[in-house]
């Protein structure tokens, strides 16, 4: 998973498992074991924030094509509204197919059930 537009990633690195968490084994990427990589890829979604700890090196906001490494609070300060905006309700992707297959209830039944 890319965490910057200048080449830093979170990725599986089976060659460095013995050193992960105790030695610097990368030139900028976050190396994880194959099992941790699988867990991470299955859990995360595009746009999820990544917080790197245990390093004194910060991602440079000017290093790359975008500003993914700028803190959200600082990014919002540069917006016209100076605040976050929600455009749609959060939808759980796991329930989408179930919702699409369900028959819509008649309005009378929804009112009777309190929906």
**Which residues are catalytic, by number?**
11, 29
Find residue 2's DSSP bridge partners: 9
N-terminal to C-terminal alpha carbon distance within the chain: 40
Q: DSSP characters for 41-110?
A: HHH--TT------S-SPPPPTTSSSS-TTS-HHHHHHTSSSSS----S----GGGHHHHHHSPPPPHHHH
Q: Count the alpha carbons within 13 Å of 112 in the hemisphere toward its beta carbon.
A: 5
């Amino acid at each position: 998973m890319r965490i910057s537009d200048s080449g830093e990633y979170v990725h599986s690195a089976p060659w460095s498992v013995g050193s992960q968490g105790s030695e610097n084994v990368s030139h900028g990427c976050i190396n994880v074991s194959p099992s941790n990589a699988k867990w991470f890829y299955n859990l995360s979604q595009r746009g999820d924030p990544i917080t790197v700890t245990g390093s004194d090196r910060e991602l440079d906001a000017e290093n790359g094509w975008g500003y993914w490494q700028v803190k959200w609070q600082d990014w919002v300060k540069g917006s016209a509204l100076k605040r976050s905006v929600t455009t749609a309700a959060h939808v759980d992707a796991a329930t989408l197919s179930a919702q699409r297959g369900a028959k819509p209830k008649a309005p009378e039944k929804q009112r009777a059930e309190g929906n």
